Structure 1
Amino acid sequence: MPDLTQVTEPQAAPEEAQPSRPTPPPSRKKPAGQGRKKLIKRLIALGVAAAVFGGGGFALYRFLNSSDDTLGEIYATPAFIGTIQSRVSGQGNAKAKETAAITLTQSGVVQEVFVTSGQTVMAGDPLYTIFSQAAEDAVKAAKDNVTEAQKRVSDAERGVVTAQRAVPAAQEALERQKSDLVKLNEQLAKLNEELTELNNSKSDLTVRAPRAGKILKHESFTVGKDASPGPVCTIADNQTMKLSLYYSYAYESSIYTGQKAQVSIPSLMKVQEGRVEQINRVNFISPEGGTFFEVVVSLSNPGALTKDMAATATMTDSDGSDIYPYADGKLDYAETWELELKIGGPVLSVNLSDHALVTAGQALLTVGDKEIKDKIEAKQDEIEAQKESIKAKEKEIKTQQEEVIPDAKEGIKTAQEAVETAKQGVADAQQKVEEELKKLADFNAVAPIDGTVTSCAIEPGQEVKSGDTVVMISNTVNMLVTINVTDQNIAFIKPGNTVDLVDWNDNMFIGTVTSIDMSKVESDQGMTTYPVTLMVENFDGSLMEGTTMRYSFVTSQSDDCVQVPTACIQYFPDSEGNRCAVVFVQRDARPDDVPELEYPTFEPGQKRTFPTEEEGYYPVIVETGLYDTQNVEIKSGVEAGDNVFVNYTVTDYSGW
C-alpha cells in the first residue's frame, strides 16, 4: 500500500489550515450576572418541557433552532518554544525471513521421524529417514552415464587431431592469396586517393564565398575568355567589426575577455555596446612615456559601420569609474578573405561586384577545364579495372577454399562439435548425478535453515510418493516487512534507518531498513512508489506471518522553534490582493506596523471568527513552517511569549 495513507504525527504545514476548536482553557471567573442568566435559562427550559407535554412541539422546535449572536469569550494562549515533526505512515505485511520446504522426488517408506510441528531446529539437525530403492537406482544409473560420456569425449578428441593434419598446406596457400588480395586493395585505395585529388581539383574550378560578407574589391573577368590562376576578390565579414585600442597597464587587472565595452563612433554620433575579444600584453610606449597594452573590442555592425571609421571604447572599472584608452582607434572588419583561382580555364560565369553582399558558399567565378574531366574519366576506368582484379582474386581464394580446405576444415569443425557435445554430455551426466544425490539426501534430510517446523506430514512406516511435501521450516526469529514509499518521501529513508511499526493489537516493533529496490518502481495514478524492505527482530515470536503492520517515520523536524496552535492561523488578502497568513497578537497599544488587510463581511446571523482592535488584538502577517495535528511552526512574525488569539469559546451562560 502507498505509505502516505494518513499523517498520524507532525507534518508539513498546508497553505491553509481551517481553525479548529482547541482544548478548553482553564476555568475562568464568571462575568457579573452570569448566574442570573443561567437561572432564567433553566426557567425557560422548564417552560419548554411543559410545552412538550402539552403538545407544544412547534414552540420547542423554534426554541431549539433560535440563533445566538453572542461570540463568547476570547481564548488566547502564549506562543511557545518546542520541537515539531512531520511524519508519513502507511501499511505493510510481515513475513518470515526464510522459508524452506522439502518435497520428495521418488516414492519410499518412512523409517524414522525426528521432529514434530512447532519444534525449533538448527541448520543441519536431522529431520527424518526414508528408504527409497528408486532413488538408489537413479543415482547408480546417473554415475554409469558419466562413465559412458567420458569415453565419447576421448573418441571425439582423437578425431580432431586427425582432421587438423590435412589443413596446414592448404592454409599456407590461402594466406599467400590473401596477401595478394591485400596488395590489390592497397593499390585500389591509392587510385581512389588520386581520384579524390582530381575531384578536389574539379571543385577548385568554382570560387565560392567562404562565409557571408561583402566584396571589397575584385579582379576583372569576362565570360568566354580564359582566366589564369591568381587573385579573384577580397571579401570582408561586414557583420562584425573590431577596434584595436591601447590602455594603461594600470588597468591590466580591470579589463578581461568578454567584458562589456561602450564603443563611441563620433562620425555617426552613436554609442554601441561591444565586448572585449582579445587582450595582447604588448609594450606600447607613448611619447609621454606611458606603457600600454592592446585591447581588441568586437561589435556588431548594424549596417552603417565601415573600415577606418574613428572610434573609441570605454569600460567600467570595479569602482564604477570609466576606463579610457590612450587614443582613439579605427574600425576594421573582424575578418577578411583573399580568394584565388587555383586552376585556369575558360570563364563560364562571373558574379563579382564591389560592395556586393554574398552568402556562405555562393559561387563567384566558375571556369571550365576539359583536361581535368578527361583525367578523371581515365582514373575511374583504371579503378574499375582494379576492382575487377580484386574480384578475380577473391574468386580465386574462394575456389582455393572450396577445393583444398573444405573437407579438412569441415572435418575439424565436425570433430570439435563432437568434442563439445561429448563434454556437454559429461557435464549433463555429472549434473544428473548431483541432482540424484540431492534427491537421495532428501530421504535422509537435515534442516536447511534455522527456524521452526511449521509442518511435518509424515510418520514411521508411512509410504510416500514423488511430489509429496513432507516438512516445512520457517525462520521467524527475524521477520521481513515490505512497505511502499512514494517518490516524494523516498529521499527521507535509507538502509540502516529505523521505522516505527505497530500491529493490529497496538504492539510496537522497530524495523530496520535493509534494502530499497529502485528497480521495482510502481506507478499508480501518477504516484511512483519504491518497495522498501524492513527487518524486524521477533525473538519472542509475537509477530505472526501475514500480520498487517502500520508504519511511520520522520520526514522533517524543527527544533527549538516558535509554535502556536493551528487554529491561530487565519488567511486574509492584503491591500494588493496577496493572500497572507495572519495571527492576531494581544498588545497594550496599537503597533505602528499593523498591516492593511481586507476582512470579510458577515451576513446577519453569521459570527465573526477573529478579534478586533477594540478587544486588544492586532493582526500580524507570519511565515509558517511545519505543522502537526495541534500546532504550527512560526518562522517569522511572532515571538515566544506573545499572547495569540485562538478562537471564541462558548461560555456557560452563552449556551445551556
Structure 2
Amino acid sequence: MTDQQTPVMEQTVQPGSPAPAAPKGPKKKKRRGKGKLIAGILVTAAVVVAVAVILWYFVFRETDQQGEVMTGTVEYGSIQSTVEGSGTTKARNSASVTPGTGTILELYVQEGDQVEAGQQLYKMDDTAAREAVTAAQESVDNAQKDLQAVYDKIAELTVKAPHSGNLREVADLKVGDTVNEGDTIATIVNDTKLRLSLYYSYAYEDQIKVGQTAQVSIPAIMDSRTGTVEKINKVRFVSPEGATHFEVVFVLDNPGTLTEGMEASAGLTASDGTPIYPYQNGKLEFYETTVVKAKASGPVEQFNLMNYGDVKAGQTMVQLGAKNTDEEIASKEEALKAAQEKLKTANDELAKYNATSPIAGTVLSCSLQEGAEVQSGQGISIADTTQMVVEITVDERNARYVKAGMMVNIDQYGTPYMGIVESVSMTASGENGVASVPAVVTVDNFDGSMIPGTYVSYSFVASESDNCLVVPIQAVKYVSFDNVTLPDTLDAAPSEGGDMGGMIDGEMLPEDGMTDGEMLPEDGMIEGEMLPADDGTVISDGSMAVPQRYSGGAFAKPLMSVAIPGGGVVVGGGSMDGSMGGTGSTDNAIVWVQSDEPPVNAILEPDPSWEQPKGFWAVPVTVGLNDNSQVEIVRGLSQGQVIFLGYQNPEQMYY
C-alpha cells in the first residue's frame, strides 16, 4: 500500500477579484492574557485573607461573644422523687348476671337500685334446667361409686382378721401362690367366751330375764361357771311329753380350759326361791366363728397363718400383690371429673333462671324486660362502688420505693381523692425495653362520685431528701474520665452539714457497679433506649437528662439519677464506685467550681474536650435525686460554692 497524499484543491479566482497576496512569515501572538492571570491571583489571595480573618475573628480570637457567664450557688434545699401516671377506675367488687334461654316472667330490679347479696333479680321457667341438674348429679354419684369400687378392691388385697380369736382350718399357702377371689383363708373362732342354748317351760316365762345370772354346770370338768342370760327367744319347742318351751341363750367366760361341744346345763332360781331347770342339757359353742375368704385375687406376698394361732382384730393375715390398677384408677377419676364439670355447668345454668345477686351493691345496668324473650348479650351488671380500685404500673427503677400502705393522690377531672397502695406485684412485665411492676390502689368512694370505667391521674412521692445540697440541673456535666488524673481525695472541702459519705436515701451506694443485682450498662442505654429527659433537654456532652417517661402512662419526675457508663443515668437507683471513677472508660459527673486556687478535690488537668470555662475548676460529684430544675449533690461540693451554669448572650442561651 502506498502512502496516501493529501490532495491539493485548486483555487479558482473569480474574475475581477484581487489576486491573493503573497504568503507572509509566522504571525506573533499578543501578550494580553498575562494581565488576567495576575488579576486572578490577586483576587484569590484576597479571599484567603478574608477567610483567615473570619476564622480568626469568630473562632480563634479570644472574645466575650460566647456570652455572659451564668453562675449559681451550692445551697441547702429539699428534693422529691414523684411518680405520676394515669389509670382506669373499676369497682372493687362487681358481678354480671346473664339469664338463661327463655322468657323473663318477673323482673324485680332496674338500673340504680340497691340490692343485697342473695336478693332475687328475676324469675324464669326452670323446669328443664332442674331436670338437667338431676341427671348430672346421678352421673356424679355413679362415677364416685365406680371409683370407690376400685379402691375397695385394692383394700381387699390385704386380708385382715375381722375379730380376735383362734385360727382353725388354715389354708396351706406359700409366698408366690395365687389366691383367687372366694378362696378360704382360715376360720377364726372367738373362744374367749362360750354360748349355751337351753329350753325352758313357758311356765317360767315371767321368771327369766335378760342379764339374769345362772350357774352353768359342766360335767366334763365336774365344776360349774357363772353365766348370764344374753338373749331370750320366744320360740315354740314342743317336747315328746307335749309341753311347750322357749329358748334361753347363756354366755360365759372361757378360762381357757373349755371348748366347743362340751355338754352343759344351767340352773336358775325363781323369785320365790324355787329352782328352775331346763328341759334337757345342751352343748357349749364358740361365742363367734367366722370363715375368712379372699375378696380379691393376687399373688401371696406375705402371710401370717398358723393353726390354733391367736390373732387380734384387724391384724393382717395375708397380703396379696396388687395388680396394675393405676390406669383403671386414672380412667375412673377422669370420668368423675367430667361428671362433676357437667354438674357444675348444669347448676350454673339453673342459677341463670332464677338468679340472685352475688354481691351487695348498685345495679349499674339492666337490659332485661319483663315478659320479653332474653336476647344474646342481655343481663344485669352490679357493682359495689363504695370502694374503687385503680390499677397502676410503676417503672422497675421506682418499684423499690412503692410499698403497701403508701398514700396516693388521685385526681379525676379536678376532683381530688386519696388512695392507698394495697399491693405491689412481685412480677414485672416488659414493654419497649422497659419493665413495669403492677400495683393496686384502693380509693374510698362513699358518695359514689367516682364512676367505674373512667380515667384518673395519680401521683405519689417515691423518695425524698430534706436539708441536702442542691445545684441547678444544668450545672452537672457528664463526662469521661478516661484521659484525666483524678485527685487523691474526692470529698468536698469541709462545710456545714458535712458530707453524706456516698449515701442515697440513707443507703450506701454499691461498689460493684451493680444496681439491684444487675450490672449497669456501658453504653448509656437501658435495654436499648437512651434515657430521655422529662422536658427533652440534652446535656452539653450529648447524653440525655432525666427523668424518663415510662410505658403504661406512668412517668417519673423527678427520679433518682446516677451517672452510668456510656452516658445517661439510672433512675430509681444507681451505682458509683465510691471514688467517682478511676481508670478505664467510664462516664461521670462533674461541676465547674469558681475559685482562684483549685479546690482540694479538683481535677487539675481536665480533658480539653470539656471546654473548661475561665476561672472554674472541674470537681467530680456524686449526684442523688433530681427534678426538672435541680440535682441533689451527695458528695463533692460544699455549701456556698459558686458554680458554672453556662453562657448567655442576647441571641442565644446554651450550656
TM-score, structure 1 normalization:
0.41
Structure possessing the higher relative contact order (Cα contacts under 8 Å, 6 or more residues apart): 1
User: Could you say which structure has the higher helix fraction?
Assistant: 1
TM-score, structure 2 normalization:
0.41
